[in-house]
């Protein structure tokens, strides 16, 4: 496909996205401030104006700086922005951190969004799932289906790269922002999710970014062990001279007892290797989260 053909296809998908959202009358966007939800929020604002609202859930699972970044992005888009406190930590099914943890988180978020809409007006909940999300293990998809959440990007056949292209077209500063899933996704399944552990992870990732490693995951494992994932190209920089010793000491000051470097490097969803195969098979009722 030529560049011109690719641009024509993207233009067509953009128009379908705007038309789809316009047909919904009123929407509430699950808005994390990442590129996917930002594109949906921008499209919803263009299609519906004041009949669209972006909703950000706030809890200890949100990394530092992400709420303020979401506020600033919503302001740039021009969409009305609501912040709601979610209480997933009150749910033992969430904190015990079984492979379906994300289901309980999304169930809480979408339930709170429904309550928000019920106080104001009737509307449709939408999220930022795109077609690339359909083949991954995402238990939150079940929660989306139970709450009748729509996924406009996936419905219009828009993949992750096209999401980034649309974000660039609309001058959204997050067009190249790396994925930033919730902090709980860094805790190995079976290890309890607690605010203290998430704070340790948050501080550790912030520390690595301050040291010049913008793409990083700090995975929490049993015994307060930190497993660092960084791109393979950054290994030599992390291991140079005595820096790795300094970094290890700083991470232990945060609260980790052991620090390891994952030799496979950075990769999204690495903890899914702990999920039994039968749980990763999609059900017929799954919809994108």
What values do phi and psi take at 273, rounded to 5? -65, -20
DSSP secondary structure string, 170-210? TT-TTTTPPP---GGGGBPTTSPP-HHHHHHHHHHHHHHHH
| pTM score | 0.88
Question: What was the pLDDT predicted at 68?
Answer: 97
As given in the structure block, the two tokens for residue 161 are 């790269």
Burial category of 210 from C-beta neighbours within 10 Å (exposed 0-12, middle 13-18, buried 19 and up): exposed
Contact 126, 27 (CB under 8 A): yes
Residue 199 has pLDDT above 80, yes or no: yes
As given in the structure block, the two tokens for residue 8 are 């024509």
Pairing of strands 124-126, 27-30: parallel
pLDDT, tens only, 251-266? 999 999 999 999 999 9
Q: For the chain, what are the domain ranges?
A: 3-169, 183-267
Question: What was the pLDDT predicted at 288?
Answer: 31
Contact 82, 56 (CB under 8 A): yes
Percent share of the chain, pLDDT over 70: 90
pLDDT, tens only, 97-142? 999 999 999 999 999 999 888 755 568 999 999 998 876 667 888 8
Which CATH architecture is the domain 3-169 placed in?
3-Layer(aba) Sandwich (3.40)
CA angle 103/109/113 to nearest 5° reads 140
Give the CA count within 13 Å in the CB-facing half-sphere of 67: 13
Contact 208, 230 (CB under 8 A): yes
Please enumerate in sequence order all residues whose Cβ is within 8 A of that of 114, keeping only pairs 6 or more positions apart, or say none: 125, 147
Residue 281 has pLDDT above 90, yes or no: no
Question: What was the pLDDT predicted at 5?
Answer: 80
Alpha-carbon span 183 to 203, nearest angstrom: 11
In 10 A of CB 235, how many CB atoms? 14
- CATH classification number, 183-267, choose in 3.40.50.12160, 3.10.310.10, 3.90.226.10, 3.30.300.20: 3.30.300.20
Contact 13, 162 (CB under 8 A): yes
Mean pLDDT computed over every residue of the chain: 90
Residue 280 has pLDDT above 90, yes or no: no
For the chain, how far is it from start to end, CA to CA, in angstroms?
30
H or E, element range at 36: helix 35-48
């Amino acid at each position: 496909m030529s560049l011109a053909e690719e641009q024509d296809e993207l233009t067509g998908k953009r128009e379908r996205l705007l038309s789809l959202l316009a047909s919904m009358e009123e929407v509430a966007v699950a808005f994390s401030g990442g590129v996917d939800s930002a594109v949906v929020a921008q499209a919803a604002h263009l299609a519906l104006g004041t009949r669209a609202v972006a909703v950000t859930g706030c809890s200890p699972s949100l990394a530092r700086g992400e709420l303020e970044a979401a506020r600033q992005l919503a302001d740039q888009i021009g969409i009305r922005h609501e912040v709601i406190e979610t209480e997933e930590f009150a749910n033992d099914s969430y904190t015990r951190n079984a492979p379906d943890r994300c289901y309980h988180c999304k169930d809480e978020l979408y339930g709170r969004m429904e309550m928000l809409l019920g106080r104001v007006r009737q509307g449709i909940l939408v999220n930022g799932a795109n077609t690339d999300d359909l083949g991954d293990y995402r238990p939150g998809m079940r929660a989306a289906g139970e709450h009748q959440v729509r996924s406009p990007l996936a419905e219009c056949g828009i993949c992750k790269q096209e999401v980034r292209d649309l974000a660039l077209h609309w001058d959204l500063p997050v067009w190249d922002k790396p994925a930033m899933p919730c902090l709980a996704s860094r805790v190995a399944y079976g290890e309890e999710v607690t605010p203290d552990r998430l704070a340790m992870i948050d501080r550790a990732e912030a520390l690595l970014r301050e040291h010049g490693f913008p793409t990083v995951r700090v995975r929490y494992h049993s015994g307060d062990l930190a497993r660092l994932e960084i791109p393979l190209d950054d290994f030599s920089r992390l291991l140079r001279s005595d820096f790795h010793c300094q970094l290890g000491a700083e991470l232990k000051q945060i609260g980790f007892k052991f620090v390891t470097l994952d030799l496979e490097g950075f990769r999204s969803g690495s903890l899914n290797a702990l999920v039994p195969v039968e749980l990763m098979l999609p059900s017929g009722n799954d919809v994108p989260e």
